[in-house]
Chain A
Amino acid sequence: MKKLTLFMGHTLLFYFVLLLLMSFQSSIWLQFFSQSPAPSLWITFLVYGAFYRSLGETILLTYLTSFVASVFLNMPLGLLLLCNSLCMLSLLTFKSRFMVTNPSFLALLTLLTNLLFPLAHYLASQFFETNPIHRFEFFSWLISSLITALISVALFQFYMWLDKVTAKAWPTEVGGSAQ
């Protein structure tokens, strides 16, 4: 019971952080940087989740992140879930082949995932939407990816600190042993 309460508390805390980040992305960024491409901060959650959560938690994280992000992104939930799942699948595939624990390397992965997301979105849009994407906003996504990757270095440290504070155990592949 205590374990479940801890898990719930931890999950809620993380999604509160995600809500704050997404609000920052949609509101504060607009006030200061107007129309310049905003960072895709939910991607950092996916990347961190892929490496620092168990498989079951990763699936839950993908769903919850998509629910929260769809509110702020105005993207259809199904499409967002599909794109996020594709990104997560790619990250898990990468994880199964490479051992990554360095936040800087995770930032690089964030950059790549952030570039993979619009590609998945574009393809999914061509298949599923009646009025699909006509113009692929490559530069907008590229700038957004770079900004996200830069911010993610600090964010990963913050996520790790949150895990430490809330005594969250990492899967054995990452830390070597459960903490």
Chain B
Amino acid sequence: MSVLNFDYKKALILFFLVGLPVISANITHDSHDTHWALAPFSLISQGIQRSYFTLSSGVRGTTRTYLNLVGIKKKNRLLEEKNDELRAQLGALTELKLENQRLNSLLDFQKNSNMDLLAAKVIASGTLPDHSALVIDKGYEHGIQKNMAAITPGGVVGYVIESLPKTSKILLITDRYMVVDALIQRSRSRGILEGYSKHLGHLSHIDSSTDVLIGDLIVTSGLQKVFPKGFPVGQVISVKDGPQKINKEILVKPAIDPYKTEELFIILNPQNESFEPKPDEMETALPLTDAQPNNSESDSPSSGESSPLKDNLNQESSPKQ
């Protein structure tokens, strides 16, 4: 066997198969230095890697955005439903809050009053604009009788014209068949308040010499024994001389809008209470408006010791000259 007969091919294969891994195992990898020969490859690979990353991240981002959009749409629909639900709840809560405020004011009024008051809810109303009536959820089974007064803390609503077992009908202050014996609070002149139109009353039987100004408060006289004395009915919004200048034609805006009434009181015994202001309060009494006609005799201040009734009227109306 000659040395020349050595199979170099086999030896080379053996070397690569066994030798190289053995050699490689003993080579320490220096992470800090890049061999100069590898630098161009590193540079190129870096560029390619970055390009691939940018491309793949772009594709992935677009795909994710699309997938998210589907999710967002679904989520948006859910949120919208939730929002609608919350809105409905908010509306109901606001309604409850307002009802609570109204009921609280009614309760305060009932507590501070000497009258026997029966609270009732409005359940229906007349639908013709020329005839005004409300139906409440209390009837003669609850003690309501014909001709009993219906009021709110803000003013007169009307009186009972029909009492059935469980419901009663209230004729409103603005109905043309309504008649209330009334006083001009400041001048103490008496007149008859009748319904005029859907939102106004008319004070009649006031002679032309009577001292009446726009903004004067009209109160109940108490003579009918239906309403307590001195309870607000409305406010003068227009004063004109009647035909032949014998009477004055006075239009009155009700102290409350009877059509907006949702809860009210029925007075079971009006004689126990008087809402007449004390003499010192009379000096600072109405008219409520700042604007006075030139022949005004009253220079009284319109603020200061104002009564709650007066405040209520100030809030509810903005009288015109």
Contact = CB atoms under 8 A, between A and B. Distances in A.
Interface stretch (B33-41, B127-135, B207-215): B127-135
Interface string B128-155: 1111110100000000000000000000
Contact of B123 (A27, A121, A131): A27
Contact of B131 (A37, A75, A144): A75
A34 to B, nearest CB: 8
B216 interface: no
Nearest to B169: A74
B205 interface: no
Nearest to B122: A30
B196 interface: yes
B260 interface: yes
B177 A73 contact: no
Given A35-B260, A131-B176, A131-B195, A137 B131 contact: no
Contacts of A137: 129-130, 197-198
A118 B175 CA distance: 16
Nearest to A38: B127
B194 A75 contact: no
A40 interface: yes
A174 B127 CA distance: 32
A123 interface: no
A115 B122 CA distance: 29
B160 interface: no
A121 B260 CA distance: 25
Contacts of A75: 126, 128, 130-131
Contacts of B135: 26-27
The interface centre, meaning the residue of B126, B127, B131 with most chain A CB atoms within 10 A of its CB, is B127
Nearest to B204: A131
B90 interface: no
A177 to B, nearest CB: 39
A133 B174 CA distance: 12
Given A34-B259, A73-B128, 20 more contacts: A27-B123, A30-B124, A34-B260, A35-B259, A38-B127, A72-B126, A74-B128, A74-B131, A74-B132, A74-B169, A74-B175, A75-B126, A75-B128, A75-B131, A131-B176, A131-B195, A132-B176, A134-B197, A137-B198, A140-B198
Q: Which 6 residue pairs across A and B have the least CB separation, nearest first?
A: A74-B133, A38-B127, A137-B129, A27-B124, A74-B126, A135-B197
